[in-house]
Structure 1
């Protein structure tokens, strides 16, 4: 039977709704702070995805490095991650390519498709607008490979290292190294507020590591952490709000902080709220079903929703009022994602679970 944590489903569902709302908020709200609200919602949604990914794979990596046959289990771990993310990504990449070829060819005439297959479209440089939402997948896919291999190399140097020590050292390496890289890079890159370090994969590989840090505390310090989950929730929300205040108080002008330390503080703040959500329960079967369904199709929603948005932006639909477009956007996105999950994601997941078992 599938094991799911309701609180994590809530986070995943909230994250995808925030991302989607951030992209189409302009349909229903064009006030003075529309950019601020739209940016903040979509931005936080993606960061929540990063932390959740780290929490989930962190527990898996603890199991891998607690086993006697680390390399065999590590290969299965990476294959399972690839089977979960790559098939739908490659299908959507080709769909976006066809759409770009016939509807947006001038703006993205110089697209190097091979970079998207290797997830290097945003490794050191800001990627073209083509398949723009794939920037976060570049960060995730590189982390899925580089972080486990870093742990494996440490294990090879000292077979007596425990899983706790290996993961802890690995997390610290990633957290400090990529913070240092952002600090150094700020002097050489022409960073802006929106298109800054946020979407460059090489400088954001610590984003998921904060989730790994949370997973380590869940596993090795369970009682202490969850006894303090309300305090951690309050602290995390307080730090999150203050961190946002530091950015927006001067009309987004503090580019140094935003492109360097900001992401480390954000990661710690978001990771702090996870112990609370891990223990959240649901007594309503209807609400549980809804949240669980949104959570299951969230990956399809993420990859498909921008395609739906671009579709509604075609000149043929200019007669549709913006409020109606807002409703149609969510309706069509959920329909398309439901179909995608049923006929693409679910069969691949079943194959993965049948052929590449975790045990």
Structure 2
């Protein structure tokens, strides 16, 4: 059993970024655990939770931006270069996503009489929430759509800025990032001025969970990658100050110390920007933490490695399909608190165990295959 769940750790991993990725998925899984707990108890957990998805966005932008900057420095930009980039990205994200999507479709085909595959065809193109509310089916997929459109659009914008507008490679990174940030921010402002938002769920599906209201979050990470590549001395010199500023911003955002109106201009338009900037400020320090040791190091690194699988399965697969189909009445009648604690513990155990197996026996073989494929 020990070998079944053992995962090898690459010595070249940056421990600080693993910490950030691990915390992000812990926040997400704990937030989704809200549905398994009474609100009176969950509020104490929520006190320590931050926006894990936004952390993923900025971190992804930082890592992908760094990859693109390195590629453009070492190679002449052409269509084959972009296609190779897409192949590597999609081999990283598509297989896990389509595996879980296929499982969910099969479960619904066999156990849901009202299910129609045609109604969910947009999931295969990540277009289910481009400009509209994300459907209830496979709700975790909303953020994956944002990520995939980022992977698709950023190289295209870079290609246009370099080949058509004749902007230098370095400046094209900033031009692309700021162009998308400004465009998406203006789009959110347009939404805010034309719609009436007075409830959390409306704000959630209208602003938080649509592709073209959230693409800018990843671009703050791209800007971080640019600064890291061009101004590394500045990046490292002020890493402590940036870390403190980022943490302060997170606290102010979490507890609304700015006292902004719940569904006013700030929360509908600029709150996503400020949260992304707060995450960006954490990166200089965390990217400098190269190594770690001990139990905490292994825990954080393992959690980081399986974070993608954890994100895909924790809510719909584990919580809805597995825990939702267990008969809990005997345990609930015996002692409600024992029932809640048991169910919540099983939720975490299953999420972690299934994710390790999925990462080791599906994700890693796919990644090994990816490294052998290249358009020449």
Aligned counterpart, 1:327: 345
For residue 188 of structure 1, the aligned residue among 186, 194, 205 is 194
Q: Report the 3-state secondary structure (helix = DSSP H, G, I; strand = E; otherwise coil) of the residue aligned with 2:217.
A: coil
Equivalent pairs, count: 353
For residue 306 of structure 2, the aligned residue among 297, 303, 316 is 297
Counterpart position of 1:78:
86
Query: For the Cα contact (< 8 Å) 1:111–1:128, is it kept in 2?
Result: no
Structure 1, 224-233 or 59-68: larger mean CA deviation:
59-68
User: More deviation in 19-28 or 303-312?
Assistant: 19-28
Quick check: 2:105–2:117 contact (8 Å CA) kept in 1?
no
Residue 167 of structure 1 corresponds to which residue in structure 2? 173
Deviation at 1:314, TM superposition (A): 2.4
Structure ranking higher on relative contact order (CA contacts 8 Å, 6+ apart)? 2
* Greater displacement, 236-245 / 53-62: 236-245
- Structure 2 counterpart of 1:93: 101
- Distance in 2 (CA, whole Å) between partners of 1:232 and 1:334 is 32
Residue 214 (structure 2) aligns with: 204
Tell me the SS of whatever aligns to 1:131.
Answer: coil
Deviations 1:109-143 (A, max 9, x none): 68722100010111111121100000000100001
1:266 to 256, 262, 275: 275
Q: Does 1:280 align with 2:293?
A: no
**Correspondence for 2:367 among 346, 349, 355:** 349
Mean Cα deviation higher: 184-193 or 74-83: 184-193
Partner of 1:235: 245
Is 2:325 the counterpart of 1:314?
yes
Which residue is equivalent to 2:25?
16
Provide the TM-score with structure 2 as the length reference: 0.86
Taking the aligned partners of 2:110 and 2:134, their CA distance within structure 1 comes to: 20
Against the structure 1 CA distance between its residues 283 and 141, is the aligned structure 2 distance closer, same or farther, given a 3 Å change threshold? closer
Q: 2:185 aligns with which of 179, 184, 188?
A: 179
* Secondary structure of the corresponding residue to residue 341 of structure 1: helix
> Aligned-pair distance for 1:244?
3.3
Select which of 120, 139, 142 maps to 2:146.
139
Aligned equivalents of 1:105, 1:209: Cα separation in 2: 42
Question: CA offset at residue 316 of structure 1?
Answer: 2.2
| Distance apart, 1:34 and its partner CA | 2.3
Cα RMSD of the aligned pairs, angstroms, is 2.6
Find the aligned partners of 2:208 and 2:186 in 1 and give their Cα distance. 15
C-alpha contact 2:252 2:258 (8 A) present in aligned 1: no
What's the counterpart of residue 30 of structure 1?
A: 39
Contact 2:15 2:292 in 1 (8 A): no
The CA deviation at 1:2 is: 6.4
Between the aligned partners of 1:35 and 1:356, the Cα distance in structure 2 is: 49
2: CA distance between counterparts of 1:118 and 1:336? Answer: 26
Q: How far apart are the structure 1 equivalents of 2:104 and 2:258? A: 34
Asked if structure 1 preserves the Cα contact closer than 8 Å seen for 2:34 and 2:42, the reply is no
Say whether the 8 Å CA contact 1:193–1:258 is kept in structure 2: no
1:153 has 2:160 as partner? yes
Q: Give the direction of change, closer, same or farther, for the CA distance of 1:274–1:29 in structure 2 (3 Å limit).
A: farther
| TM-aligned CA distance change 1:142 to 1:190, over 3 Å | farther
TM-score, normalization by structure 1: 0.90
CA–CA separation in structure 2 for the residues paired with 1:259 and 1:111: 33
* Aligned mates of 2:113, 2:257 — CA distance in 1: 36
Cα separation, 1, equivalents of 2:37 and 2:290? 33
